[in-house]
Amino acid sequence: MSGERQRAMRHTRQRCEVCGGPVFFDASQRVRVCSSCGLVQSGRGKSDFSLRDVMSELQFTNTLEELAARLNASDWEVERAVLLMQKEGLVEIRGNRVILTAKGRRALLRDLSD
């Protein structure tokens, strides 16, 4: 991981409200993400959705607007989560479409089998 990426993702002293795992702050996207379950928190004081939720909803829709509607979240929150997933190599963004990569499909299948 590059030094710039490590600086952008700082661990906090917070614990995830769902699984109790460590939470890091992604400064580039201004969101808090649990490193165990992938819960995304926008800083509004409530948990919004997890990266797992985004990946499972991508099976049924492929645009940011449709994804935001299905997750009952704001477009900007979903966009930040998708950009974070793109940095991790889980999705590919082509115009307005969001597509799961092979790595993302494997992660989704692994999560569904649990």
Has residue 112 got a pLDDT over 70?
Answer: yes
Q: What is the predicted pLDDT for the residue at 24?
A: 77
pLDDT value at residue 92: 94
pTM higher than 0.75: no
Q: Of residues 27 and 3, which shows the higher confidence score?
A: 27
pLDDT tens for 42-99 read 665 555 677 888 888 998 998 989 998 998 888 877 888 888 888 889 899 998 899 9
pLDDT band at 102 (very low <50, low <70, confident <90, very high): very high
Q: Where are the domains of the chain?
A: 3-113
Burial 61-84 (b: 16+ CB within 10 A, else e): beebebbbebbebeeebbbbbbbb
In contact, 80 and 89? CB cutoff 8 Å: no
The dihedral region occupied by 89, where left means phi > 0, alpha psi between -120 and 50, and beta the remainder, is left
| Sheet arrangement for strand 47-50 | 9-15, 22-26, 31-34, 39-41, 47-50
Rounded average pLDDT over 31-51: 70
Strands 22-26 and 97-100: what pairing?
unpaired
CATH class of residue range 3-113:
mainly alpha
